[in-house]
Amino acid sequence: MKSPLRIRLVLLLQILSLVLSVVPASASTLYSNGPVKGNVDGWAINFGFTVSDSFLLTSHSTVQGFDFAAWTLAGDEPRSVDWSLTSSANGGTVYESGTANLTTQYLFTNGYGFNVDEESVSGLNLPLTAGGYWLKLQNAVTQQGDPLYWDENSGSGCSSPGCPSLASENSLGTIPSESFNIMGTQAGSSPEPSSLMLVGSGIIGLTGLIRRRRLRD
């Protein structure tokens, strides 16, 4: 007959296998269109202007957020933006959309006197298959109601498959692409190390109990 400790060890190993299958990996960069430029140009994403940039996913992925570089007038602060992930520029199938609050990190003041910031959006949970998509931004809101501009970088210095991005503005058509990153996880990603350590420590501790019991027996 198996001892209670052996049964507990078997159960803990079964729990570990379940944890490995359901614990998500930490978000990583699924696609990047290159670093921020900040001194070339910026495209308005409010007051009726819409900008879309393409990106490629090389495998089944879950998009958890994105970030982009923006130009703001000194003293103003970005608040929110309407976003959507679509199958084509300014249209096509809409896979997900919403209004997101922006988390702002100041980077520098450019040669035109604008503050260049990194704007982050998180909390998404959108599974997508491998293929090409578009990130569309519009209806941005700032604290003082000023224009907000998406930083143009033309994909210079990008290294992701499929870059540089294509880009389109709703009133002009094709434009140079912008600086942004798509964040998330790919299918088959490993769980976070901290989760493995917690479960693994339980197994090690229980194994120690079994060994000590054998010595006493």
CA-CA distance, 197 to 176, in Å (whole number)? Answer: 46
Residue of 21, 22, 66 whose CA lies nearest to 184: 66
Q: CA quadruple 113, 81, 46, 49: dihedral positive or negative? A: positive
Considering the domain 28-186, what is its CATH architecture? Answer: Sandwich (2.60)
Beta strands in the chain (DSSP E): 28-32, 42-44, 51-57, 61-72, 78-88, 91-101, 103-109, 115-121, 126-128, 131-142, 149-151, 167-169, 173-174, 180-186
| End-to-end CA separation in angstroms for the chain | 16
pLDDT (tens digit, 9 = 90+) per residue, 116-129?
Answer: 999 999 999 999 99
Mean pLDDT rounded to a whole number for the chain: 85
Q: Is the pLDDT of residue 191 over 70?
A: no
CA distances, 178 to each of 64, 145, 161 (Å):
20, 22, 16
Q: Is the pLDDT of residue 215 over 80?
A: no
CA-CA distance, 15 to 37, in Å (whole number)? Answer: 48
Note the pLDDT of residue 67.
Answer: 98
pLDDT confidence tier of residue 211, bands split at 50, 70 and 90: very low
pLDDT (tens digit, 9 = 90+) per residue, 62-100?
Answer: 999 999 999 999 999 999 999 999 999 988 999 999 999
Give the number of other Cβ atoms within 10 Å of residue 12's Cβ. 16
**Cis, peptide link before residue 164, omega less than 30° from 0:** yes
| Burial of residue 157, with CB atoms counted within 10 A of its CB: 0-12 exposed, 13-18 middle, 19 or more buried | middle
Q: Which of 20-24, 28-32, 179-183 has the weakest average pLDDT? A: 20-24
Task: Compare 70 and 216 and report the one with higher pLDDT.
Answer: 70
CA-CA distance, 35 to 113, in Å (whole number)? Answer: 20
Q: Where are the domains of the chain?
A: 28-186
